[in-house]
Amino acid sequence: MKQLLCPSMMCADFGNLRKEIGDLDRAGVDIYHCDIMDGQFVPNMTMGINDVKTIRACTDTLVDCHLMIENPGEKVDWFLDMGVDLLYIHPESERYVVKTLSHIKSRGKLAGLAINPDTSIETVRELLPLADYILVMTVSPGFAGQAFLDLTRKKIATLLQMRREYSYKIVIDGACSPEIIKEFTRLGVDGFVLGTSALFNKKEEYSTLIERLRSL
């Protein structure tokens, strides 16, 4: 199975963003992952509208936005209108989760559900039929450079088992080292968000790193 390799663009060099995207495209990445934080749902602030617009304008590869913001339903059309292909929302931050996921799909885009380490599967079970993608947070959202939380392994295993009933893809976000990618690819996880653990701030070229990850 070919993994979906999704570079976390908040880790990219924004001083050379067009070059970064060109290099990543040539390396064959699958989805550009854009973290949008508002300083309220999570304590940090990261990428903004213009950053996403620039990424979208520079590539034909899929672009997703992970909305770590309050009331994302009020803002999903901002991102859909600029051509984002996949939007992840957190159920804790949205009062009308079903409405928002359904709206994303009605626009012909992919609807994603992001699940925090401290979010129980049981609390989101009824939402799973509406999700094209499940983003499993294996670190606490809002900070880069954290260690993989082992307690999320059971959650991933449960979602893999439940996938037989639904049609979503599972993507892991947080501390995705080559070792983690190898382990969970073999278990059937579909994709991985790549940050500093596997892709960015390395001496080797992106093409070399992506080729190595594909071989795991």
Q: Which residues are catalytic?
A: 35, 173
Unique residue bearing structure tokens 């976390």? 8
Three-class SS of 67-99:
EECCCHHHCHHHHHHCCCCEEEECHHHCCCHHH
Residue 146: both structure tokens together: 């954290």
Comparing CA positions, the residue from 176, 182, 74, 84 lying closest to residue 135 is 176
CA distance 19 to 126: 42
CA distance 44 to 51: 16
